[in-house]
Chain A
Amino acid sequence: MSIPLTLTVNGERRDLVLEDPRVTLLDALRERLHLTGSKKGCDRGQCGACTVLVDGRRVNACLALAVSLDGASVETVEGLAKGDALHPVQAAFIAHDGFQCGFCTPGQIMSAVGLIREMREAGEEIDVERVREGMSGNLCRCGAYAGITEAVVDAARADSASETREKAA
């Protein structure tokens, strides 16, 4: 059995051939495309460490069959920074110490990027409680939640301000 499929990963077309249809998006990224930024914490959609954006929406890569996503656009943590310039969410995580061991961090950051987009689209007010709820699909066993929330609130407010500037311009 060999199954060809194509994904656009971080803007780049990636062709791959799977041995069988069981391969999840997470294992395709990690073991076939060697993009190991996305992490496997539970493999059952219970921890969020594998969060990536598929067609712009944050999902658990461990519960999606890669074959079903043929043709999809995938964004992972590897695609966020532009050269040495960190994405604002990445920079905010560092500034607010929003991680300790760093294992859940790629998933937290992709989830935050997705959340900020969702809030922007919905025109939702950015407040701490909404961010806490919106980030609750990402477990952090180190307990870095206070820094995570501060980082996401900061980055979301910056995003909102830049949106306002864009509209004004």
Chain B
Amino acid sequence: MNLFEYTRAASIAEAVTAASEPGAAYLAAGTNLIDLMKGGIATPSRLVDITRLPGLDRIEPQPDGSTRIGALVRNSDLARNAHVAKTYPMVAEALLAGASAQLRNAATTAGNLMQRTRCAYFYDPASPCNKREPGAGCQAIGGATRIHAVLGWSDRCIATHPSDLCVPLAALGALVEIEDAGGRRTVPIGDFHLLPGDHPERETVLEPGALVTAVILPPEAAAFAGHARYLKVRDRTSYAFATASAAAALTLDGGRIGAARLALGGVAPKPWRVAEAEDALSGASPDDAAFARAAAALVAGAKPSGPENAFKVELARRTVMRALALARAGTPTRMPALPASPFSHAAGAIHA
């Protein structure tokens, strides 16, 4: 780990000023940043410790029905918060399916949004990587690509976003509150993460020094509490990144779908949400045919970024289908023992 200057910010304004210096980075729990620094992937010259900024560790239901989640709320606190677990159950389920209990006890909400890809080439300083060094090239292309993207990738970068939390947040249309030198603003999470295009080094809309201060779940997100699931397909029963994951949420009204929310994880450079997929469900009967149409729309345009990830196109489609079936069956009254696992043994029939 390189030597760096350590400063602890007492206020958001102080933090933003300190972090606007070139080479500065914010330190919250550090569960991703310290790992990257140990690998020589991140070499910040200054760490601005924001863990003691006041007021960012609260979960606050708002009068308009939205919920404001402070940037520093720990993953486990968010998952176990009674209001969140009841109102946004798939957010809780996704959180509890991520990483390990130890990491969830430390990792923060904003940190989850900011986490970097698990692409092995990104993690290998000896491999060219356009994320680390713009224009250097992408060693992943033509390499081992089982975990890489089938949607949204470019010829500059085929990495996936590894977050679980961001998938239901994207499905529910969360807003990201940002503070920078220009003041405070909110950005829809769908616009917060950027596709790689020609500039994979730019992963979010944040300008240097900008600080995520909160994530806001809008009023309408509360409507899906009764039929919302997160499903995570992975290579170990626990403590593994998603091979593919899906968040699915429905409102059911007299045997028909009122509204639907869908997003995919583990298959694209950002949580993948497509309006047409949700439109295909709205007003439809919640049957497998409608689910199939929605799943097809969600993975429309999918293309393997390497032969080893070709299976993920079909896996993603099936994962969405299953997540929808689980959502249709209803949110379980208790969090499953194995959150988000196909083996959670919660309600939801399996269709062979």
Contacts and interface: CB of A to CB of B under 8 A. Distances in A.
Does A touch B (CB under 8 Å) in the complex?
Answer: yes
Interface of A: 3, 20-22, 24, 43-45, 48, 51, 57-60, 63-65, 67-68, 111, 114-115, 118, 122, 127, 129-130, 132-134, 136-138
A22 B47 CA distance: 10
B27 interface: yes
B3 A63 contact: no
Given A44-B38, A58-B105, A136 B4 contact: no
B49 interface: yes
Contacts of A137: 99-103, 239
B308 to A, nearest CB: 23
A59 B38 contact: no
B128 to A, nearest CB: 23
Nearest to A43: B38
Contacts of A63: 29-31, 34-35, 103, 106
Interface in B30-50: 30-31, 34-35, 38-39, 47, 49
Given A44-B38, A48-B100, A136-B100, A64 B30 contact: yes
Interface string B122-164: 0000000000000000000000000000000000000000000
B4 A64 contact: no
A60 B3 contact: no
Given A21-B47, A65-B27, A127-B337, A60 B80 contact: no
B68 to A, nearest CB: 23
22 contacts: A20-B3, A21-B4, A22-B3, A48-B102, A51-B102, A57-B76, A57-B105, A58-B101, A59-B105, A59-B106, A60-B106, A64-B30, A65-B34, A65-B47, A67-B49, A68-B27, A68-B49, A68-B51, A114-B105, A118-B76, A129-B338, A130-B337
The residue among B100, B102, B105, B237 with the most chain A CB atoms within 10 A of its own CB is B102
Interface in B299-352: 337-339
A59 B77 CA distance: 13
Contacts of B99: 137
Given A45-B103, A136-B237, A67 B337 contact: no
Nearest to B7: A21
A60 B209 CA distance: 28
Contacts of A127: 337
A104 B238 CA distance: 18
Interface in B229-266: 237-239
Given A22-B1, A45-B35, A68-B27, A3 B6 contact: yes
Count class of interface residues, chain B:
20 to 34
A136 B104 CA distance: 12
Nearest to B240: A136
Contacts of A24: 34
Contacts of A134: 101
Nearest to B36: A44
Given A63-B34, A63-B106, A114 B6 contact: no
B1 A44 contact: no
Contacts of A129: 337-338
Nearest to B50: A68
Interface in B47-100: 47, 49, 51, 76, 80, 99-100
B31 A60 contact: yes
The residue among B27, B30, B80, B101 with the most chain A CB atoms within 10 A of its own CB is B101
Contacts of A20: 3
Contact of B35 (A44, A51, A130, A133): A44
B73 to A, nearest CB: 13
A145 to B, nearest CB: 11
Given A21-B4, A63-B31, A65-B27, 15 more contacts: A44-B35, A44-B39, A45-B103, A60-B102, A68-B49, A68-B51, A114-B105, A115-B101, A122-B80, A129-B338, A133-B337, A136-B237, A136-B239, A137-B103, A137-B239
Contacts of B5: 21
